[in-house]
A and B are shown apart, each in its own frame.
Chain A
Amino acid sequence: MVAPNHTIPGLRLSGEFSYNERPLFRDLVLELLPGSWTCLLGSSGIGKSTLLRLIAGLETGGSFSGSISASDDLPVDGRVAYMAQSDLLLPWLTVRQNVSLGASLRRELQDHVKTDYLIHRVGLEEYMSSKPGQLSGGMRQRCALARTLMEDTPLVLLDEPFSALDPATRRQMQALASSTLQDRTVLLVTHDLAEALRLGRRVYAMTQGKLQQFDLPTCQSIRELDDPAIMDIQSRIFSVLNA
């Protein structure tokens, strides 16, 4: 299902952004490593989601000058899948129709085999014909994940997708997302330090218009946080965020 690694580009954003003439950040550089997870940490209102929306090409309400480019020099536009805190499932469509929404909107041929495979992968095969209103919060987010995977884009932008879930469901979703998106270039915006350390290959801590970069050792799946090296990074990020 997943394209070979060499076709997955990294991404670089650099520039400045102002909102109502007030600069939100200047000379900022954000680099996403190809085929791995980058987490963007910071408190609410600091501009994390703005960065993500800039990459996704979505309305931000401010003005950006700078560049956003993929490492393979192909346009970023059209190669991005987006998943938000709210699952954004269309309540009038079934789980199956929601998962294949992208193809339906673009009037492309539906790939039923792939749709069913991905629904199976997120464990919703018994709910294919259910509408979102009949699902729990965790199930809805799993359906949204399947929809994101269905888009099969090399770049995946996750805007606090797990923050509305209870702790147990959140851990399950993190594991599921980590395994299903392991070869993509992922940007995860979160305010949960543990989540960033568990999932990220690289973590950016964002404070008042600045980014501080922390690279973590590679890890096959979800990282356990009791490793002394990780605990050290954790305390460094913590002190940056609270400075």
Chain B
Amino acid sequence: MKPESGSLSLIRVWEILFAGLFMILVWQAVVWVTQVESFILPGPLAVASAFVNQFALIWHHALITAVEVLAGLLLGVTAGILTALNLTLSERGRKLIMPALVMSQTIPVFALAPLLTLWLGYGLASKIAMAVLIVYFPVTSTFLDGLANTPKGYLDLAHTMRSPNRSTLMQIRIPAAIPSLTSGIRLAAVYAPIGAVIGEWVGASNGLGYLMLLANGRVKIDLMFAALLALCILTITIRAVVVLLCNRAEKWSGLSERN
């Protein structure tokens, strides 16, 4: 049997903690050496104290960003999966829609943010839409790729077993595409917060992106950094959960190299 990953992940936790500690030390060293003003670059201690003192405020905004990210992730991944399945079933659809999809990727998502705010308002909807837009394409294209690259031997086997197309799709092609899909979802988990925060920067009254702009405007740079820290923690947490689920799915599929 393959070795358990328990001891491995413990080593990785230490590595991450060590890297974090090292970065904080470098940061503090820069602040000491350059004697930079705290409204340009506050030290780690100042940021930590802002994080603790303003925790309730940060928590309130973090929850809103988390809702936007999770909703965007869920909707974007679902839409991506459904699109890939539909394009797999219809060759004409693939020929018509794929070029449009690829073309759409040349539009920077930043450029769409003001439009989405105009159309969907300053509330959650425009941020969720941003996250959906940014998540949708990687999920669609990786899953579509996986569905198109089912090992030929499996399809030969299904053919000689007189399998209807639908059964082949449901029982062979989709499970065989799981590693591709999960690689897309892993990317999506990192991209979704970017979408939500861009949305908040363009126009919002809530969320960590809004809090960062607000703190910046009031020269509360320590709070701005604390909000950034909260955003990092949020992204890492969401990614960790998504990676865990993806690893499980891959392990089930028996196609993972890493389990």
Q: Which residues of A contact B (CB under 8 A)?
A: 53, 56-59, 78, 80-82, 84, 86, 88, 90-92, 101-102, 104-107, 131-134, 151, 157
Q: Once bound together, how far apart are the Cα atoms of A53 and B160, in whole Å?
A: 10
Q: Once bound together, how far apart are the Cα atoms of A106 and B172, in whole Å?
A: 13
The reply to whether B156 and A84 form a contact with Cβ atoms under 8 Å apart is yes
The reply to whether A90 and B167 form a contact with Cβ atoms under 8 Å apart is no
Q: Once bound together, how far apart are the Cα atoms of A88 and B255, in whole Å?
A: 13
Q: Once bound together, how far apart are the Cα atoms of A56 and B158, in whole Å?
A: 11
The reply to whether A84 and B153 form a contact with Cβ atoms under 8 Å apart is yes
Which B residues touch A88, using CB under 8 A? 153-154, 156-157
Contacts A81-B160, A90-B175 known; list 13 others, CB within 8 Å.
A56-B156, A56-B160, A59-B156, A78-B162, A82-B157, A86-B153, A88-B157, A92-B175, A92-B255, A101-B157, A106-B164, A151-B161, A157-B160
- Interface: B163 (CB within 8 A): yes
The reply to whether B254 and A133 form a contact with Cβ atoms under 8 Å apart is yes
The reply to whether A105 and B168 form a contact with Cβ atoms under 8 Å apart is yes
Question: Given A82-B156, A86-B153, A105-B171, are A92 and B252 also a contact pair (CB < 8 Å)?
Answer: yes
7 nearest A-B residue pairs (beta carbon): A91-B254, A105-B163, A82-B160, A102-B161, A105-B167, A92-B253, A88-B153
Given B160, B164, B172, which contacts A80 in the complex, CB threshold below 8 Å? Answer: B160
| Interface residue ranges of B159-186 to A (CB < 8 Å) | 159-164, 167-168, 171-172, 175-176, 178
Best-buried of B158, B176, B178, B254 by chain A (most CB within 10 Å) = B254
What's the minimum C-beta distance from A87 to chain B, rounded to whole angstroms? 9
Q: Once bound together, how far apart are the Cα atoms of A90 and B160, in whole Å?
A: 15
Q: Once bound together, how far apart are the Cα atoms of A80 and B7, in whole Å?
A: 49
What's the minimum C-beta distance from B135 to chain A, rounded to whole angstroms? 25
A-facing mask of B86-130, CB < 8 A → 1, else 0? 000000000000000000000000000000000000000000000
Q: Once bound together, how far apart are the Cα atoms of A157 and B156, in whole Å?
A: 12
The reply to whether A57 and B253 form a contact with Cβ atoms under 8 Å apart is no
What's the minimum C-beta distance from B203 to chain A, rounded to whole angstroms? 46
Q: Once bound together, how far apart are the Cα atoms of A192 and B226, in whole Å?
A: 70
The reply to whether A58 and B160 form a contact with Cβ atoms under 8 Å apart is yes
Which B residues touch A81, using CB under 8 A? 160
Q: Once bound together, how far apart are the Cα atoms of A132 and B154, in whole Å?
A: 14
Q: Once bound together, how far apart are the Cα atoms of A92 and B160, in whole Å?
A: 20
Q: Once bound together, how far apart are the Cα atoms of A86 and B1, in whole Å?
A: 22
Which B residues touch A57, using CB under 8 A? 159-160
Q: Once bound together, how far apart are the Cα atoms of A92 and B156, in whole Å?
A: 18
Q: Once bound together, how far apart are the Cα atoms of A37 and B22, in whole Å?
A: 70
Q: Once bound together, how far apart are the Cα atoms of A58 and B160, in whole Å?
A: 8
The reply to whether B161 and A91 form a contact with Cβ atoms under 8 Å apart is no
Q: Once bound together, how far apart are the Cα atoms of A132 and B175, in whole Å?
A: 15
Q: Once bound together, how far apart are the Cα atoms of A88 and B150, in whole Å?
A: 12
Which B residues touch A86, using CB under 8 A? 153
The reply to whether B156 and A58 form a contact with Cβ atoms under 8 Å apart is yes
Q: Once bound together, how far apart are the Cα atoms of A73 and B180, in whole Å?
A: 45
The reply to whether A107 and B167 form a contact with Cβ atoms under 8 Å apart is yes
What's the minimum C-beta distance from A95 to chain B, rounded to whole angstroms? 12
Q: Once bound together, how far apart are the Cα atoms of A92 and B158, in whole Å?
A: 15
- 10 of the cross-chain contacts (CB-CB < 8 Å) are A57-B160, A78-B162, A80-B160, A88-B153, A88-B156, A88-B157, A92-B175, A102-B163, A105-B172, A131-B254
Q: Once bound together, how far apart are the Cα atoms of A182 and B215, in whole Å?
A: 81
Which A residues touch B1, using CB under 8 A? 134
> Which A residue's beta carbon lies closest to that of B254?
A91
What's the minimum C-beta distance from A88 to chain B, rounded to whole angstroms? 5
A-facing mask of B131-165, CB < 8 A → 1, else 0? 00000000000000000000001101111111110
Which A residues touch B164, using CB under 8 A? 105-107
Q: Once bound together, how far apart are the Cα atoms of A124 and B163, in whole Å?
A: 26
What's the minimum C-beta distance from A205 to chain B, rounded to whole angstroms? 26
> Which A residue's beta carbon lies closest to that of B151?
A88
> Which A residue's beta carbon lies closest to that of B253?
A92
What's the minimum C-beta distance from B71 to chain A, rounded to whole angstroms? 30
The reply to whether B255 and A91 form a contact with Cβ atoms under 8 Å apart is yes
The reply to whether B172 and A90 form a contact with Cβ atoms under 8 Å apart is yes
Q: Once bound together, how far apart are the Cα atoms of A107 and B161, in whole Å?
A: 11
The reply to whether B254 and A132 form a contact with Cβ atoms under 8 Å apart is yes
> Which B residue's beta carbon lies closest to that of A56?
B160
The reply to whether A106 and B163 form a contact with Cβ atoms under 8 Å apart is yes
What's the minimum C-beta distance from A58 to chain B, rounded to whole angstroms? 5
Which A residues touch B252, using CB under 8 A? 92
Which B residues touch A107, using CB under 8 A? 164, 167
